[in-house]
Amino acid sequence: MRLNSYSKFVLGLILIHFHSSILVAQYSRKIDSLTSLLGTSLADTMRVNILNDIGGFRVKAHDYNNALDDLLEAQSLAKKINYKSGLSNALQRIGVLLMNKFNYSEAMDYYKKAIQIKKEIGDKKGIADITSNMGIVYSDQGEYTKAIEKYFAALKIREEIKDTYGTGISLISIANIYFLQNNYKEALVHYFQALKLKDIQKQRSFIAEVNSNIGLTYFRMNDHIKGLEYFNFAMKIDEELGDKQGIAIAKSDLGNIYTARKDYVMSLKLLN
**Domains 1-122 and 203-272 belong to one CATH topology:** yes
- Percent of the residues in the chain that have a pLDDT greater than 70, as a whole number: 91
Q: Which amino acid is at 5?
A: S
pLDDT band at residue 156 under the 50/70/90 scheme:
very high
Q: At what angle do helices 224-241 and 244-260 cross, to 10 degrees?
A: 160
Residue 22 has pLDDT above 70, yes or no: no
Average pLDDT over residues 241-268: 88
pLDDT band at residue 4 under the 50/70/90 scheme:
low
Residue 64 has pLDDT above 50, yes or no: yes
Cα-to-chain-centroid distance, residue 13: 3
Q: What are the tens digits of pLDDT across the range 86-123? A: 999 999 999 999 999 999 999 999 999 999 999 999 99
* Architecture field, domain 1-122: Alpha Horseshoe (1.25)
What per-residue confidence (pLDDT) applies to 216? 95
What per-residue confidence (pLDDT) applies to 240? 92
- 87 Cβ contact partners less than 8 Å away, ≥ 6 residues apart: 48, 75, 78, 79, 117
On whether the CB atoms of residues 200 and 222 are closer than 8 A, the answer is no
> Between these two residues, 42 and 20, which has the higher pLDDT value?
42
Average pLDDT over residues 225-241: 94
Q: What is the CATH number of domain 203-272?
A: 1.25.40.10
Residue 237 has pLDDT above 80, yes or no: yes
Please report, for the chain, the start and end positions of each structural domain, with discontinuous segments joined by +. 1-122, 203-272
User: DSSP 3-state assignment of 203?
Assistant: coil
What is the C-alpha separation between 129 and 145, in angstroms, rounded?
19
Q: What are the tens digits of pLDDT across the range 40-57? A: 888 999 999 999 999 999
On whether the CB atoms of residues 224 and 260 are closer than 8 A, the answer is yes
On whether the CB atoms of residues 215 and 253 are closer than 8 A, the answer is yes
